Structure 1
Amino acid sequence: MPVQRSRPPRLAALSGLLTLGAMAALGVGAAGGSDMAAPAPSPALSATATLRDPAGQVLGTARFRPLGSGNGPVEVTVSVRGLAPGQHGMHVHEYGRCTPGVDPATNTVVPFGGAGGHFDPGMSRNHDDPQAANLYGHGGDLPMLTVGPDGTGQVTFQSSKIRLSGADGVLNRSIVIHARPDDYRSDPAGMSGARERCGVIVRDRFTARDYALPGVQTYPEGVAYDARKGLLYTGSAANGTIWAVNAATGAVSVFQEGGALGRQVALGLKVDAQGRLWVAGGAQGTVSVLSPDGVTLKVLETPPSPRPYINDLTPAPDGNVYVTDSSRPVIYRVTPDLTLDAWLDLAGTPLKYGPGVNLNGIAATPDGRYLLAIQLNTGELWRIDLRSRAVHRVMTGLVNGDGLLLDGRTLYVARNKDQVVSKVTLSADYASGQLVLNEPLTGLRFPATLTRIGNDLVVTQAQLDKLQGGTPETPFRLTRFPKF
């Protein structure tokens, strides 16, 4: 029987401890209710891990499939050979790397150390038994595998601790089988010994392309595409550096160093019709405008305030650029002559600001009539009339909605903490919407914003949940995938 023990206390409420930037990273806010039906799951969502020994020899498989029609508990079937008879601890580990790496417990390089520690979506920092809720134990704590006298073992089990989509998603993580039994008690791994088999959990029948980014503190938040140059731009939420990525080859170069004219962060990015790059400056309360060759043309400052947070922006057909502030209930406007004003005071409108991160992603409709903006902490999508400035709630149910991409009547929403891209179908007047699909791709790590390249989309894997503490998975990357 697993050893029972008292549960550790829950961490203090984050919203009382973090800056707005940290809350933006973690998606902290008061979750609003939803009036939407549950979205359909991704079609044919399943995954497989090919299990190898430290020499690279294939010696087993692990297969993952969700139970039921939604993103529910997962059934896992593990088959392996070549292990010593007896029980073996088995866990899902944080990173999708079956490479040598440092074991923090011993500070030595061990086989499969690159997989990192146990997957811990509840931030429990506690090893426990496979029935413990993720609040109290690692999400990656799995049942043991029993190996027979012939060295083979097979087990099928169900786990409600892991999913193939969402915050508990295990796609592009690793499953590791250890040399010894798991005592389900001792941190960090139940005294289960050496890592003897490892496999990366790869989604079946889905193709995506990653663009690897340099650096260990990159945290790519914004992304934009310049079709004339064939370049993607992405900016760092940690230091403000902006990179240019060749969309065809993946080659990366620095477009502008962080710190340019005082810019310390780069959040939402957009390319306008003149090829200029617009940059939201977060807690600095600024909007920067860069020339097509990377020269700062102007830095626009919003009015002084104790808590500015310029998060995203969008060029509109009327020639203006509209800007969200996640802390102050104002939508700013930059006119064609690069003058900034407070265009819409949201006080007195149905859109109410609350604790945490409020308005975030913003998009303009192609007919030039409306803006669409997502409120991260409540999950509400809003329509704002550019003529009358009337504010209308389109729908709810998109909590942790970050960046938006509007493609005709389809809206794609990067939902950072939920680690999915949501597909929303909008009515002809953009007044209502229906959430139809939550797509985890091949495994997302805190997706923040989106852009489009032809019939493909590109999303940032920002990992902003690691920005205030924790070890991000490197290399940081952008992920390109077909529209769904």
Structure 2
Amino acid sequence: MNRRIRSAFAVALTATLIATVPQAPAQAQDEHAKPSVISLPDGFQPEGIAAAGTYAYFGSRATGAIHRADLISGEAEQLSPATGTPSLGLKVDPLGRLFVSGGTAGDARVIDTRTGDVLARYQFASAPTFVNDVVLTREAAYFTDSNKPVLYRLPLGRDGALPPADGFTTIPLTGAYQQIGTGVNLNGIAQTPDGEALIVVQSNTGTLFRVDPATGVSTTVDVPGYTFTNGDGLLLVGRTLYVVQNRLNQIAVVELNTAGTAGTVTGTITDQDFDVPTTVAMALGRLYLPNARFTTPPTPTTPYTVVAVRPL
């Protein structure tokens, strides 16, 4: 066999071997590369989550510290130090700014995700107050208050310019929504699929409401045969609304109409690693949820994790 024939044979044999060796699908390889459970610091007591690219941000309801986790490596580090007040619902915008709900402090902070610096702070309310969650639209950031039947609107100017410290408005809710008792009422918040209104969940009744952000008028979202008991964080992807039901350790999956006036529950997502998850963010094709572990007495050594699941 001459050298040219031997070379051609070697190339053909190599190609045949490559073709016949089983190759893991790209998606499977990608899934294997990303951890399904990420550890947060012991004693952290997470509540909110926001995601951007390959990173997720978590707030501590105990100290207000903000941690950033690499969703590929699973490594986490502190971005912003403890404030002594809670950091609850989080959202990050395309400018790399993290909007943080301040819980019992009645405030919100905006943090630079590159430096951890606080860019602005807004004092919405005084006790009793529980600024719980936030959603970002093109024009504003909207915050819920679990102790008051209102939304707080933080307008965003040209190129996302932040308003001055007193540049927010309070929107009283009217219509179908009614405040019930002193427990957690308003909780998660999202936009409707058409972007014209907002959707909020009332945790203690398990009801979804559509809210006109210009007037505060609310109507009940018609979801036949389902009550969102312990409804917490909301996430809208297209026309699919993910509703975290914290103490039920599940996510209800709702297919909404375009206006967000009605929907159908198409399934639920559970996982053996759920331990009272509270909020949810989408990243790298998966849903990430921090385990708040409300049913576990918190100590400085109590472990906390973030769980990734596949969406429906």
Q: TM-score, normalised by structure 1?
A: 0.53
Higher helix share: 2
Q: Which of these residues, 165, 188, 191, is aligned with residue 364 of structure 1?
A: 191
Q: Which residue of 1 aligns with 2:243?
A: 413
Amino acid at match of 1:300: Y
CA distance in 2, matches of 1:471, 1:424: 36
Q: Choose which of 160, 169, 175 in structure 2 pairs with 1:349.
A: 175
Match of 1:327 among 147, 157, 175: 147
* Alignment partners' CA distance in 1, 2:307 and 2:274: 9
Query: 2:94: which partner in 1?
Result: 273
Alignment match, 1:179:
none
1:288 — aligned with what? 109
Quickly say closer, same or farther: Cα 1:472–1:377, change in 2 above 3 A: farther
Whole-angstrom CA distance in 2 between matches of 1:387 and 1:354 = 23
The match for 1:338 is: 163
Of the three residues 27, 34, 52, the one matched with 1:226 is 52
* In 2: Cα distance, 1:368 partner to 1:378 partner: 25
Residue 371 of structure 1, CA deviation: 0.7
1:312 is paired with a residue of what secondary structure? Answer: strand
Aligned mate of 1:376, from 200, 203, 208: 203
| Among candidates 422, 444, 447, match of residue 274 of structure 2 | 444
User: How many equivalent residue pairs?
Assistant: 267
Residue of structure 1 aligned with 2:123, choices 301, 304, 311 = 301
CA distance in 2, matches of 1:320, 1:422: 27
Residue 64 of structure 1 corresponds to which residue in structure 2?
A: none
Residue 152 of structure 1 aligns with which residue? none
* Uncovered stretches (5+) of structure 1, i.e. residues with no partner: 1-206
TM-score calculated relative to the size of structure 2: 0.80
Q: Which residue of 2 aligns with 1:461?
A: 291
Contact kept, 8 Å, 1:463 with 1:472, in 2: the verdict is no
User: Where does residue 481 of structure 1 map in the other structure?
Assistant: 309
Secondary structure at 1:464's aligned position in 2?
coil
User: Structure 1 residues 439 and 471 mapped into 2: Cα distance closer, same or farther (>3 Å)?
Assistant: farther
Q: Distance in 2 between matches of 1:472 and 1:372?
A: 36
What does residue 403 of structure 1 align with? Answer: 233
Q: 1:393–1:302: structure 2 CA closer, same or farther, 3 Å change rule?
A: same
**Residue of structure 1 in register with 2:3 after alignment:** none
CA pair 208-352 structure 1, distance change in 2 beyond 3 A: farther
Q: Percent of counterpart pairs with the same letter?
A: 32
Cα deviation for residue 277 of structure 1 reads 0.4
Structure 1 position 253 matched with structure 2 position 77: yes
CA contact (8 A) 2:85 2:104 kept: no
- For 1:14-48, what per-residue CA distance to the aligned partner results, in whole angstroms no more than 9, with x for missing partners? xxxxxxxxxxxxxxxxxxxxxxxxxxxxxxxxxxx
Structure 2, unaligned runs of 5 or more: 1-33, 157-161
1:444 is displaced (CA, Å) by 1.2
